[in-house]
Amino acid sequence: MREVDVKLIADAVADLSKEANYFLGDDVDDALKQGLEQEESPVGKEVMNQLLENVRIARDEEVAICQDTGTAVLFVELGQEVRLVGGDFNEAINEGVRRGYDEGYLRKSIVKDPLERVNTGDNTPAVVHTEVMPGDKIKIILAPKGGGAENMSALKMLTPAQGVKGLVDFVVDTVSRAGPNPCPPIVVGVGFGGTFEKVAYLAKKALMRPLDQPNPNPFYADLEKEMLEKINKLGIGPQGFGGRSTALGVNIETYPCHIASMPAAVNINCHASRHAEKVI
Residues 171-215 pLDDT 10s: 999 999 999 999 999 999 999 999 999 999 999 999 999 999 999
User: By the 8 A CB rule, do 86 and 278 touch?
Assistant: no
Structure confidence at residue 195 (pLDDT): 98
Q: Could you tell me if 130 and 234 lie in one domain?
A: no
Q: Could you tell me if 238 and 189 lie in one domain?
A: yes
CA atoms of 232 and 105, how far apart (whole Å):
35
Q: Kindly report the number of other CB atoms within 10 A of residue 104's CB atom.
A: 20
**Mean pLDDT, rounded, for 145-156:** 97
Q: Could you tell me if 153 and 90 lie in one domain?
A: no
Q: Could you tell me if 122 and 17 lie in one domain?
A: yes
Share of the chain above pLDDT 70, in %: 100
Asked if residue 214 is part of any domain, the answer here is yes
Asked if residue 36 is part of any domain, the answer here is no
Q: Could you tell me if 92 and 106 lie in one domain?
A: yes
Structure confidence at residue 240 (pLDDT): 95
Structure confidence at residue 157 (pLDDT): 98
Asked if residue 35 is part of any domain, the answer here is no
pLDDT tens digits along 238-279? 999 999 999 999 999 999 999 999 999 999 999 999 999 999
Q: Could you tell me if 85 and 210 lie in one domain?
A: no
3-state SS class at 179? coil
Count of structural domains, the chain: 2
The residue segments making up the domain with residue 176 are 148-278
Give kind and range of the element (H or E) at residue 81: none
Structure confidence at residue 93 (pLDDT): 98
Domain edge (last residue) among 111, 130, 145: 145
The pLDDT confidence band at residue 70, using thresholds 50, 70 and 90, is very high
**Measured between alpha carbons, how far apart are the two ends of the chain, in Å?**
14
Q: Could you tell me if 15 and 135 lie in one domain?
A: yes
The pLDDT confidence band at residue 30, using thresholds 50, 70 and 90, is very high
Structure confidence at residue 121 (pLDDT): 97
Asked if residue 59 is part of any domain, the answer here is no
Domain edge (last residue) among 102, 120, 145: 145
Q: Could you tell me if 140 and 9 lie in one domain?
A: yes
3-state SS class at 156? strand
Q: Could you tell me if 111 and 207 lie in one domain?
A: no
Structure confidence at residue 76 (pLDDT): 98
Domain edge (last residue) among 112, 145, 178: 145
Asked if residue 189 is part of any domain, the answer here is yes
Structure confidence at residue 101 (pLDDT): 98
User: By the 8 A CB rule, do 248 and 187 touch?
Assistant: yes
Asked if residue 27 is part of any domain, the answer here is no
Q: Could you tell me if 198 and 264 lie in one domain?
A: yes
CA atoms of 42 and 33, how far apart (whole Å):
15
Asked if residue 40 is part of any domain, the answer here is no
The pLDDT confidence band at residue 146, using thresholds 50, 70 and 90, is very high
Structure confidence at residue 41 (pLDDT): 94
What are the angstrom distances between the C-alpha of 226 and each of 96, 167, 206, 249, 268?
Answer: 40, 12, 17, 11, 17
User: By the 8 A CB rule, do 219 and 164 touch?
Assistant: no
Q: Of 198, 216, 13, 9, nearest to 103 (Cα)? A: 13
Share of the chain above pLDDT 90, in %: 100
Asked if residue 12 is part of any domain, the answer here is yes
Q: Could you tell me if 99 and 13 lie in one domain?
A: yes
